[in-house]
Copies of this chain bind each other. A is one copy, B any other.
Amino acid sequence: MNVFDAINTRRSIRSFQDKPIEEEKLQRVLDAGRLAPSAKNTQEWRYVVVKDAELRRKVAVAANNQYFIAEAPVVIVGCATWADYILSCGQLAHSIDVAISMDHMSLQAVEEGLGTCWIGAFKEDAVKKILYVPPEMRVVEIMPLGYPKFQPDPKPRKPLEEIVFYDKYQ
């Protein structure tokens, strides 16, 4: 599957089959994230890959009771070390770097026939406690991973004319 097809067929999946993920597929998804670029090549991402059913349930509860998260056989919890580094443009490096790395994963998942969903609605302290993530680290995004029950329709997107400007923003 080429890159554009993966981007175009990716959906936010909120309903997963009760079917395990082949280990080689999971490893390729993680490897896709591993190969991502990061500020100063810091690679500050750390991933807690949650397979244990009771821990998945606890993470789903900490994610504002989004129970579908626990349906997925694997829940990838994207964390960051070196979390106070600010780029000279004013952005937190780890937020951008972890997002790039997890986006790699989400597109590789499509290629593997798997589905994901970006979850930013969760209680960070609760997730840290459940997974023993040290306080000085950040938890950036949670991404359930599994075989989708079905392919949802695409969500609407603004046309390019609304989001792209040439030479000057106007």
A: residues with CB less than 8 A from B are 1-4, 6-8, 10, 12, 27-28, 30-32, 34-37, 39, 41, 43, 45-52, 55, 64, 79, 87-93, 95-97, 99-100, 103-104, 107-108, 110-111, 118, 120-124, 127, 131-134, 137-141, 155-160, 163-170
A-B contact list, 12 entries, CB within 8 Å: A7-B35, A30-B160, A34-B157, A34-B163, A41-B155, A88-B120, A91-B120, A91-B138, A93-B120, A100-B100, A132-B170, A137-B169
Question: Does A121 lie within 8 Å of B87, measured CB to CB?
Answer: yes
C-alpha spacing A92/B166, complex, angstroms: 26
Alpha-carbon gap, A55 to B167, bound state (A): 7
Q: In the complex the two chains form, what is the Cα distance from A110 to B107 in whole Å?
A: 14
Option from B35, B120, B132 in Cβ contact (under 8 Å) with A8: B35
In the complex, are the beta carbons of A4 and B111 less than 8 A apart?
A: yes
- Residue of B89, B104, B169 near A140 (CB, 8 A) is B89
Q: Given the known inter-chain contacts A3-B111, A158-B34, A168-B48, please indicate yes or no for A92 contacting B95, CB distance below 8 A.
A: yes
